[in-house]
Amino acid sequence: MVNKNNNANAVGAGIVGAVVGATVGAAAVVLSDAKNRKKIGKKFDEFKKDGQKVISDIKGKVEEMTSEGKEKVDAVKKDLKK
């Protein structure tokens, strides 16, 4: 039984290694062309800008919710003091 698990792990590792190797090889071929590098660079910049916008939007919403939460807490405190 131990032997079967070791063989299965070895086969799985071999398959994963082959997939990773093929992926790295394909990426190397794509990146070897200057046009492709420029396209990838432009897409990366677009994704970066989009990500920064999303983060900025989230920060704004968090600040807004924090402010609303503080207002509600203050209102509850006032009610409790009465």
Pair 40, 31: CB distance under 8 Å: yes
Pair 32, 26: CB distance under 8 Å: no
pTM over the 0.85 mark: no
Classify residue 33 by its DSSP letter.
S
Q: Residue 2: what pLDDT?
A: 46
Say if residue 2 is exposed, middle or buried (CB neighbours under 10 Å; 0-12, 13-18, 19+). exposed
Q: Tens of pLDDT along 2-51?
A: 455 666 677 778 888 889 988 888 888 877 888 878 888 898 899 999 99
Q: Residue 28: what pLDDT?
A: 83
